[in-house]
Structure 1
Amino acid sequence: MSLSYSERLHRVIPGGAHTYSRGDDQYPANAPEILVSGKGATVTAADGLTLLDYGMGLRAVTLGYADERINRAAIRGMELGVNLTRASVLELEAAEKLVSLIAGADMVKFAKNGSNVTTAAAKVARAYTGRRYICVPRQHPFFSFDDWFIGATAIKRGIPDVHHATTLVFDYGDVASLQKLFDEHPGQIAGVMLEPATTVGPCDGAPGYDRLRVPTPAIAQWPGNFLKQVQALCRREGALFILDEMITGFRWDLHGAQHLFDVQPDLSTFGKGMANGFAVAALVGRREVMEVGAINKPGQERTFLVSTTHGGEMASLAAFLETVAVYEEKDVVKHLWDYGAKLSLGLEALAREVGVAASFQMQGSAVSLNYVTFDRAGQPSLPLRTLFSQEMIRNGVLMPWIAQSFAHGEAQLQQTLEAARKALAVYAQALESGVERFLQGPAIKPVFRQFN
């Protein structure tokens, strides 16, 4: 008997994929086990099934799959040699371009995944300050696969306590909880690392704030702006202010969410969305801070910052440069905000129409939407989330989360809302008579759990 794709994957890849977010336990039973290709906003499974996609390469594809312009640029990078013995002209141009985009960033180190550059940011902060602790918000799910962070989650197996003992946790939006850590560890905190925003933003309580519209300068100057509070606290305490823009960068704003919220971190990390799915990540920061990794400062103690064979790989850096050019020419970010606003309002209207508005809700800003499901007691429900995802797939839409791209247009919006209309009708029945009757398989599970 032949094995299924899922069985074959698990035989040769621990977890069945190279990112836990792609694992079987993150999708309903009717999701395709394996995909063959993507084009625009559509993916094709091995059995020929095509689906409108909102996963978009784990949020890394912001223009659309197999964009011809980006692919041609990558090919040009390949034809230059892909990876040379010394730094390349293309590598220099990419570094200069990224530094020009991010205010306050003077230097950059490229890598291939986000974990490498967030870990590098933690190392730089410790080297620069001579301190040991890094603070992160408990509400932000992932900063690195390295021990310093993963050891602070529920998945501690294989990680000695000493490797994560210097990671401290506070609450996003609660500056007092961060101040408490500084008070408990005086002169010992090297840096504070956080995402600028997730589905919860730094200015959510500001008067006149509209989560479906780009924040205005007036919102950014609101005294309750949490990012500004963290920046001020870090400056006062001598710690580095570090923004992880892996998701927000090249989605919220071409110059980073830090530009929207008017803050200037000491270090920032970027990745998803930089090159329309090609493998590029970056650590950027102030010259004084980044130069802890310099080799042209005679007598300076060395810091082994990031050293990656493939950090200067030219196909991906060429794709990055072309992606930025498309962003600048076509105002991609505006499209992402506008599409997200239409989608959010449409889904909310459908939920009201079928009477499940209290159970199916949209959270987050227009570029960072999430649908949240609640049972009849008002408690978050993964089985109901699984059911909605299952029914969307049944109606031609793969929506594990919402990460729209430039390839999502009016036709895709209407297709999504029509699928949601049918999915929410089933959802309403499940809410009334029990979700188990409608689920084809097990409910999805949190990635960060101690046991399978």
Structure 2
Amino acid sequence: MPIEDTADTAGFRLPRSRAANERLHAMIPGGAHTYAKGDDQYPEDLAPVISHGRGAHVWDIDGNRYVEYGSGLRSVSLGHAHPRVIEAVRRELDRGSNFVRPSIVEVQAAERFLATVPTADMVKFAKNGSDVTTAAVRLARAVTGRPRVAICADHAFFSVDDWFIGTTPMSAGIPAATTELTVSFPYGDLAATEELLIRHQDDIACLILEPATQTEPPPGYLAGLRELADRHGCLLIFDEMITGFRWSEAGAQGLYGVVPDLSTFGKALGNGFAVSALAGRRELMEWGGLRHSGDRVFLLSTTHGAETHSLAAAMAVQTTYVEEGVTARLHALGERLAAGVRDAARSMDVGEHVVLRGRASNLVFATLDEKGRPSQQYRTLFLRRLLAGGVLAPSFVVSSALSDEDIDHTVDVVAQACAVYRKALDAGDPTPWLAGRPVKPVFRRLV
């Protein structure tokens, strides 16, 4: 187990992980297949390389066990190696995973999904969130005959494709002409969104946003967006990668009662297995099918989009959520964690510096400096103490596998971390507690 003395983390070392990170960088650009998993997101030389996981715990190759949060970038919401999911996957593995024609599993998976998300009429599966969000944008452009995409400026990520990445600081390699076709609107501000639609009258194909993130939508906001999209002739697309299942089994649209034209799901849908979904109204989705008379839309055509074991995992996840009330459990666990972390921060007089945000099932934390500004240095200090205490937490997003004991342990480690945080605030400089360079934001122009 990691050391418990968080007054001094000098004894906490990850030599095998450090060596494995060097090997990763030698062969894989960035040292990871997802930028958010990069070792630059962790304190220097303290980026664990994972050996295995079970439930809410993971073990690194140095032999340390951690209580894990934000599992698989929010994808493993039932916990690692969930028995019901693994059993469903194993049943399909001996039957073959990919064929020259659709498998009956595709029928069953579509029926299961549309029963879980009844606001949609049709669904098409893929492997990544980016696959389906880009397909939704392409479909919106085809249906409306308009070129521009309006994204919510307050939401962090939509796709690895040019139409979105060109708007970030990591825009190298993307033509300006592509980026100019993407405009943005602020979350929660209907007047600003309508002004944008008027300014680009008959030019915007869709409004795409996460229906909720760190704050609840203002009263009437989502319904107001629905009305604006209808009035201005564009489509409304909900990116439900995060809100799907964590807000309700049917996503935010199921909770708030506002139906988008198209929506995209992923992450929790497969509990770590690669599966995503584009869902929407039949008259729109059929543009990518064979039963219409207009121009064909190349909607989604992926060799591995219907791998049987991933679809079996998705069906098991949906059944588990519905039968076991997983969404309610995620909220209850998150509320318990949030109360404990906030109490710990207040007790160490850093309640205004270690700040929790978001819905209980999707908690993130902010680390603020002496003047209340976001600080990567204080984030580094905080993460370093969490890791040394056996808590791997780039966020505080819970999985349903967490126990009360896991949360109690987390709160104890947070309290110890906050005690060090207070010392750094009093000193006016966290540098002595960093033991290396600070962690870095994912989206930045320079390495």
TM-score for the superposition, normalised by structure 2: 0.94
Does the aligned pair in 1 maintain the 2:119–2:254 contact within 8 Å?
no
Report which stretch shifted further, 275-284 or 99-108: 99-108
Does the 8 Å contact 1:151/1:164 carry over to 2? yes
Give the counterpart of 1:187 among 189, 202, 205.
202
Matched, 1:429 2:426: no
Match of 1:155 among 164, 170, 173: 170
Match of 2:376 in 1: 382
**Of residues 136, 156, 159 in structure 2, which corresponds to 1:141?**
156
- The alignment partner of 1:340 has SS state of helix
Distance in 2 between residues matched to 1:164 and 1:102, nearest whole Å: 33
Match of residue 140, structure 2, among 122, 125, 135: 125
Unaligned runs of 5+ in 1: 204-223
1:211 maps to: none
Q: 2:269 maps to what in 1?
A: 274
Alpha-carbon distance in structure 2 between the residues aligned to 1:397 and 1:74: 29
Q: Residue 30 of structure 1: CA displacement?
A: 5.1
1:67 alignment partner in structure 2 = 82
The answer to whether structure 1 residue 448 and structure 2 residue 443 are counterparts is yes
1:264 aligns with 2:252: no
- Residues 364 and 397 in structure 2, CA contact (< 8 A), matched pair in contact too: no
Task: Give the match for residue 370 of structure 1.
Answer: 364
2:347 aligned with 1:353: yes
- 1:51-450 to 2 correspondences below 5 Å: 51-203=66-218, 224-297=219-292, 299-433=293-427, 434-450=429-445
- Work out the CA distance in 2 between the residues paired with 1:286 and 1:325: 23
- 5 Å matches for 1:11-22? 11-22=26-37
- Note if contact 2:139-2:287 (Cα within 8 Å) is conserved in structure 1: yes
Which amino acid in structure 2 is aligned with residue 124 of structure 1? L
* Count of aligned pairs: 431
CA distance in 2 between counterparts of 1:437 and 1:225 reads 48
* Partners of 1:9 and 1:277 in 2: CA distance: 21
Tell me which amino acid in the other structure corresponds to 1:168.
V
Q: Deviations over 1:330-349 (max 9, x none)?
A: 10000000111111111111
SS at match of 1:61: coil
Tell me, what secondary structure is at the counterpart of 1:348?
helix
Give percent identity, aligned residues only: 45
Q: What are the Cα deviations for residues 370-392 of structure 1, in whole angstroms up to 9, with x where unaligned? A: 11121111111111112111101
User: 1:32-43 counterparts in 2 under 5 A?
Assistant: 32-43=47-58
Question: Quick one: distance in 1 between partners of 2:435 and 2:215?
Answer: 32
8 Å CA contact 2:383, 2:394 repeated in 1: yes
Counterpart contact for 2:52–2:60, Cα < 8 Å = yes
What TM-score, normalized to structure 1?
0.93
Indicate if the aligned counterparts of 2:116 and 2:318 stay in contact, CA closer than 8 A.
no
Match among 31, 37, 40 for residue 46 of structure 2: 31
8 Å Cα contact 1:30/1:390 also seen in 2: no
Structure 1: distance between partners of 2:426 and 2:34: 35
- Give the superposition deviation at 1:188: 1.2
Q: Distance in 2 between matches of 1:246 and 1:67?
A: 20
* CA displacement at 1:367 relative to structure 2: 1.2
Supply the distance in 1 between the matched residues of 2:118 and 2:410 (Cα, whole angstroms).
37
State whether residues 132 and 278 of structure 2, in contact with CA within 8 Å, keep that contact through their aligned partners in structure 1: yes
Question: How many Å separate the matches in 2 of 1:385 and 1:138?
Answer: 24
- CA-CA distance at 1:192 after TM superposition: 0.3
Q: For residues 171 and 316 of structure 2, what CA distance do their matches in structure 1 show?
A: 40
Code of the aligned partner of 1:382: Q
State which of 16, 25, 46 in structure 2 corresponds to 1:10: 25
**Match of 2:179, as an amino acid?**
H
Q: Secondary structure at the match of 2:108?
A: helix
- Measured in 2, the distance between the counterparts of 1:31 and 1:245 equals 32
Amino acid at match of 1:155: M
Counterpart-to-counterpart distance in 2, 1:248 and 1:30: 33
CA contact (8 A) 1:61 1:276 kept: yes
